Amino acid sequence: MLTLFYSPHARSVDNELKRGSGFADVPLSVAGRTLAAELGRHYASEKLDAVFCSDLQRAAVTSAIAFGRRGLPIVLDARLRECDYGEMTQYPVDQIDEGFNRYIVEPFPGGESVMMVVQRVGAFLREVMREYDGKTVVVIGHRATRYGLAYWCGDIPLETLVLSPWEWRDVPIWRYEVHAPHLERDVVVHAV
pLDDT at residue 168 in the model = 77
82 is catalytic: yes
Confidence of residue 166 (pLDDT cuts 50, 70, 90): confident
Q: In degrees to the nearest 10, what's the CA dihedral of 11, 36, 166, 99? A: 40
Tell me the angle at which helices 30-42 and 57-67 cross, rounded to the nearest 10 degrees.
50
pLDDT at 185 over 60: yes
Which 8-state DSSP code applies to residue 184?
A: G
Task: For residue 84, say whether it is annotated as part of any ligand binding site.
Answer: yes
Query: Quick count: other Cβ atoms within 10 Å of Cβ 106?
Result: 10
pLDDT at 190: 58
Q: Which ranges constitute the DSSP H helices of 12-165?
A: 13-16, 30-42, 57-67, 93-102, 114-132, 143-152, 158-163
Pairing of strands 136-141, 2-8: parallel
How far apart are the C-alpha atoms of 101 and 123, rounded to whole Å?
A: 23
Rounding to the nearest 10 degrees, give the CA dihedral for residues 31, 16, 59, 96: 160
- Mean pLDDT along residues 152-175: 89
Tell me, yes or no, if 9 is annotated catalytic. yes
Catalytic option among 82, 112, 142, 159: 82
pLDDT value of position 179: 85
The domain segmentation of the chain, as residue ranges, is 2-184
The answer to whether the annotation marks 46 as part of a ligand binding site is no
For residue range 16-59, list pLDDT tens digits in order: 999 999 999 999 999 999 999 999 999 999 999 999 999 999 99
**Binding residue per annotation — 79?**
no
Are the C-beta atoms of 36 and 7 separated by less than 8 Å?
A: no
pLDDT in tens, 98-154: 888 899 999 999 999 999 999 999 999 999 999 999 999 999 999 999 999 999 998
Ligand-binding site membership of 58 (annotated): yes
| Whether the predicted pLDDT of 192 surpasses 60 | no
Q: Is 153 marked as a binding-site residue?
A: no
Query: 2-184: what CATH class?
Result: alpha beta
pLDDT score for 40: 97
